[in-house]
Amino acid sequence: MTKENWPLIGPLGVDGAYVVGALSGFGTMVACGAGELCASWMNNQTLPEYARDLSPLRYENTGLINNLQAATDRGIL
């Protein structure tokens, strides 16, 4: 589980390494979509707008991270 309770789906920064993890308590509900999103990353397909925000690349977006850290509800199941 990440601090912000969002999954990590996408490239890890090492050539050929990808992650589908930190699915927390809602993993079974999002497993198929998470796999599809990761496959899109792996095959250089068109990604949805939210793909970067669900990947480890989100930590480069200080505005997003600051907003997530300021949130009082993390949506923990």
Question: Average pLDDT in the 61-75 region?
Answer: 89
Q: Which domain holds residue 36?
A: 8-70
Give the pLDDT confidence score for residue 9 in this predicted structure: 97
- Tell me whether residue 2 is in a domain: no
Say how far apart CA 56 and CA 17 lie, in whole Å.
12
Give the pLDDT confidence score for residue 7 in this predicted structure: 92
- pLDDT tens sequence across 6-54: 999 999 999 999 999 999 777 888 999 999 999 999 999 999 999 999 9
- Tell me whether residue 39 is in a domain: yes
Q: Please, which pLDDT band fits residue 65 given cuts at 50, 70 and 90?
A: very high
Q: How much is the pTM?
A: 0.86
Q: Give the number of domains in the chain.
A: 1
Closest CA to 70 of 3, 1, 19: 3
Helix, strand, coil share of the chain (percent; to 5): 50, 10, 40
